Amino acid sequence: MILHQEPFWFLNTKNTSYVIRVLPNQTLQHIHYGGRVSADDFSYYNVFQDRAFSPRILMGPICTSHDIMPLEYPTFGRGDFRAPALRVEGLDGRDVNELQYKSYEIISGKVHIPRMPQLDVNVDDVQTLAITLEDVIVGYEVVLYYSVFENEDIITRTVEIRNTSNGAIRINNIASLSVDFESADFDLVSLEGSWARERHICRRALCQGTTSLESRRGSSSHQMNPFLALADKHTSEHWGGVYGFSLIYSADFKALAEVSQYGDTRVQIGLNPETFSWKLEKGDSFMAPEAIMTYSDKGFNGMSHNFHQACRNHLGKSADPSVKHPLVINNWEATYFNMSDEIIKQFLDDCKGLGIDTFVLDDGWFGRRCDDSSSLGDWFVDENKFSNGLHNVVNHCRENGMEFGIWFEPEMISRNSRLFEEHPDWCIHCEGVEPIPSRNQLVLDMSREEVVDHIFEQMAKIIREYNVSYIKWDFNRNLTDNGSSTLPADRQKEHTHRFVMGVYSLMQRLNDTFPEVFFEGCSGGGGRFDFGILYYMPQIWTSDDTDAVERLKIQYGTSMVYPTSAMVAHVSACPNHQTGRSVSFDTRGEVAQMCNYGYELHVGKLATEEKEKIKGQVARHRALDELVQKGTFYRLNSPFDSILCAWELVSEDKEKAYVCATFQTAMPNAKTFYVKAQGLDADCKYYVKPLGITLGGDTLMQAGLPVRMPDAVEYACLAFDLEKVSE
Ligand code: DGJ
């Protein structure tokens, strides 16, 4: 897997190689990342010349420049004018760094990043290369870690700065990875969006200059996911080369692709230097969040499969085989804040016998919360709404055959709350300045231990008292007025990172104390849909937009990086509360089936025939759930390019598959589409329901399934269940 053949290191996975070299002047040079290569003598590769306006350095008999070399971990100030991966300032203010190779080590397993989410499950077969470099100007050490996950074609990276110098230093920029490519013939792919419109796929050509994707919001954000892909120009969902990069982190990040004057490309992903800086005392060390990189020559689906496997096999709670994803009904879109013993008991009665596992009581049960203007931080039951605490509701829930789940927004505080009266200084604020509210709320300073302790105690009390089995963890605003009154002036820019580490510590503590409680992440829908959250919580509410047609793009885009086992989709009422659109109950159900399935509506207000359908949909999800949790997901037909959106899930043993094709609109006189399945056994036959015919896997993949828009039906959805038959 990791081979050292001086002066080269070869990091090999099943289908990829990553090659590094140390040059005679001890600079670390990047040689290759992509398809698998032999452990050849790569001295012939990336040979340098002298070029105008690129400052010269002498390298043995030749002159070259840092500015034109593919560098493994570039710094600032010594002739490379492209984006630096690292920028560290000495106590004397010197802002010039030069890293030279010192030593290396190959470690079996992984190195732990303290207090951070990371791929740390099933890592016995993983090997880690640790290369230590020394800054010859300021005098600190840098350790570059590369962990090789052979089967998934994944390499994770992190960077450690050890302050071995004589005084404090300041890290002003630290990318978790940097990769230099010798070409710029790529398209850049990102997942962009907004509230209720998350993770739409955007593909654009690269040209000279820097394209940066980032968040400065204190969360990974609705607007831009911490992910970037570089694809060959001809790459499609199924064919072609593509590199994927993702950061395991839930707050401010920056990803960039820079094309230089010579037509090469530098990619980086890591903490956002605009909102991050870290003072490191002599003798201390700092580790960057972990980044994942992968390469596939099997198109975007191939890249996605590698990310999905990394998550399902190695990422904390998402990789815990004992975790079962319950089928949920949530009362948010049914009652909003209007709740009481009577209202919720009626809601529960209406759900009786439908086969739902868990009822989740959403926002509005605590403090004096009648709308969004109060009570965040007061995690005790509102006795005006619920006379006997939540006991009546919880007992009723169990009598109706369901477990009990509950909503929290642990990181928030309302100005109108008991918590604010007692601790007005616990909110994030800038001394002497009124903090800006958003959704009428402020954010708690989670970098403070006493704040985290207080919230933990309140949540633990509720969990114990009501034997809560499921928590929906929300986060409904972004950070402003950043800084902490407990940090000294020269550490204020550490705050966002310290905040998210405090959040992670609370999540970890709850997981450790209540290992049987299931957590669902949420941030106004999918505003924090990232591998950081998925380390602690095995699923995330994909979007506040529950419109089935809108969900096509959202779920399709999300699957670029995240597995179906991480996504949640609920059937909600129509006209839809976000778009006003009406879509048939069947289409709403079918579009949600690819995710962790549930409902978010008033069953009692449904038409009888819709209510009747629920039992069938629940049974259908029981049959499909194994595919959602473990199956291989294929994007077949893009809703960004066509009126037809199609996707597929195939079981690990290829015995079963499920194809779902949905029209985004109505069209008169539409043609019949033939949707080509993927990932089947070409030599075997499959029975196709509901067509009632048996076809070869080869036929299904080469000729496809007929998808004809029914006449005069808007947003029609056709689902096919494929089952292998023995000859
Ligand atoms: C935003 C979430 O995404 C919704 O599902 C709901 O929980 C509300 N917050 C409650 O305030």
Ligand 1: does its nearest atom lie under 6 Å from the Cβ of 527? no
* CB neighbours of residue 694 within 10 Å: 14
Ligand 1: does its nearest atom lie under 6 Å from the Cβ of 589? no
The span from the CA of 359 to the CA of 606, in Å, is: 18
Plot region of 540 (φ>0 → left; ψ -120 to 50 → alpha; else → beta): beta
Contact indicator for 206, 302 with CB cutoff of 8 Å = no
pLDDT of residue 668: 86
pLDDT band at 710 (very low <50, low <70, confident <90, very high): confident
pLDDT of residue 727: 67
Ligand 1: does its nearest atom lie under 6 Å from the Cβ of 474? yes
pTM tops 0.85: yes
pLDDT of residue 46: 76
Give residue 202 CA to ligand 1 midpoint distance, Å: 27
Cβ neighbours of residue 692 closer than 8 Å, sequence gap 6 or more: none
Q: Specify the ligand 1 atom closest to the Cα of 372.
A: 11
pLDDT of residue 670: 87
Report phi then psi at 397, rounded to 5.
-60, -50
Cβ neighbours of residue 434 closer than 8 Å, sequence gap 6 or more: none
Tell me the sheet residues that pair with 244.
229, 294
Tell me the sheet residues that pair with 87.
173
Is pLDDT above 90 for 47? no
Ligand 1: does its nearest atom lie under 6 Å from the Cβ of 524? yes
Tell me the sheet residues that pair with 258.
210, 266
Give residue 616 CA to ligand 1 midpoint distance, Å: 27
Is pLDDT above 70 for 61? no
Plot region of 316 (φ>0 → left; ψ -120 to 50 → alpha; else → beta): left
Q: Of 124, 152, 137, 105, whose CA–CA distance to 2 is shortest?
A: 105
Omega before residue 424 within 30° of 0, cis: no
Q: Strands, E, within 206-357: which ranges? A: 209-215, 227-232, 242-247, 253-259, 265-271, 278-280, 285-287, 291-296, 328-330
474 is catalytic: yes
Q: What is the pLDDT of residues 438-486, one digit of tens each?
A: 999 999 999 999 999 999 999 999 999 999 999 999 999 999 999 999 9
Ligand 1: does its nearest atom lie under 6 Å from the Cβ of 541? yes
Q: Specify the ligand 1 atom closest to the Cα of 407.
A: 7
Contact indicator for 363, 337 with CB cutoff of 8 Å = yes
Tell me the sheet residues that pair with 58.
63
Report phi then psi at 21, rounded to 5.
-140, 150
Q: What is the pLDDT of residues 606-652, one digit of tens each?
A: 999 999 999 999 999 999 999 999 999 999 999 999 999 999 999 99
pLDDT of residue 666: 87
Ligand 1: does its nearest atom lie under 6 Å from the Cβ of 476? yes
Contacts from 493-497 at CB under 8 Å and sequence distance 24+? 493/275, 493/276, 493/277, 493/278, 494/276, 494/277, 494/278, 494/279, 495/428, 495/447, 496/218, 496/251, 496/252, 496/275, 496/276, 497/251, 497/271, 497/276, 497/278
pLDDT band at 605 (very low <50, low <70, confident <90, very high): very high
pLDDT of residue 477: 98
Q: What is the pLDDT of residues 547-587, one digit of tens each?
A: 999 999 999 999 999 999 999 999 999 999 999 999 999 99
pLDDT of residue 634: 98
Polymer length of the chain = 727
Specify the 3-state DSSP secondary structure of 194: coil
Cβ neighbours of residue 140 closer than 8 Å, sequence gap 6 or more: 88, 134, 161, 162, 163, 164, 165, 169, 280
Q: Which is it for the CA torsion 578, 583, 588, 594, positive or negative?
A: negative
The span from the CA of 521 to the CA of 568, in Å, is: 10
Ligand 1: does its nearest atom lie under 6 Å from the Cβ of 218? no
Give residue 333 CA to ligand 1 midpoint distance, Å: 9
pLDDT of residue 146: 98
Tokens of 256: 């960039």
pLDDT band at 130 (very low <50, low <70, confident <90, very high): very high
Which is the catalytic residue, given 474, 530, 625, 681?
A: 474
Contact indicator for 366, 445 with CB cutoff of 8 Å = no
Is pLDDT above 90 for 51? no
Which is the catalytic residue, given 297, 544, 545, 625?
A: 544
Give percent of the chain with pLDDT exceeding 70.
99
Is pLDDT above 80 for 215? yes
CA distances from 670 to 42, 179, 636, 709, 710 (A): 55, 46, 19, 7, 9
Q: What is the pLDDT of residues 203-212, one digit of tens each?
A: 999 999 999 9
* Residue to substitute in 411, 537, 544 for testing ligand 1 pocket (most ligand atoms within 8 angstroms of CB): 544
Averaged pLDDT of the chain: 96
544 is catalytic: yes
**What would the mean pLDDT of 421-438 be, rounded to a whole number?**
96
Tokens of 201: 């796929």
Tokens of 644: 């037809």
Q: Residue whose CA is closest, atom 11 of ligand 1? A: 363
Give residue 571 CA to ligand 1 midpoint distance, Å: 15
What is the residue whose two structure tokens read 């980044």? 291
C-alpha angle 534-540-545 in degrees, rounded to nearest 5 = 150
Contact indicator for 196, 544 with CB cutoff of 8 Å = yes
**What would the mean pLDDT of 481-499 be, rounded to a whole number?**
96
Tell me the sheet residues that pair with 104.
131
DSSP state of 249: -
Q: What is the pLDDT of residues 343-395, one digit of tens each?
A: 999 999 999 999 999 999 999 999 999 999 999 999 999 999 999 999 999 99
Give residue 527 CA to ligand 1 midpoint distance, Å: 11
Is pLDDT above 90 for 254? yes
Q: What is the pLDDT of residues 318-344, one digit of tens each?
A: 999 999 999 999 999 999 999 999 999
Q: Residue whose CA is closest, atom 2 of ligand 1? A: 524
The span from the CA of 191 to the CA of 203, in Å, is: 9
Specify the 3-state DSSP secondary structure of 358: strand
The span from the CA of 69 to the CA of 92, in Å, is: 29
Give residue 362 CA to ligand 1 midpoint distance, Å: 7
The span from the CA of 239 to the CA of 297, in Å, is: 7
Give percent of the chain with pLDDT exceeding 90.
94
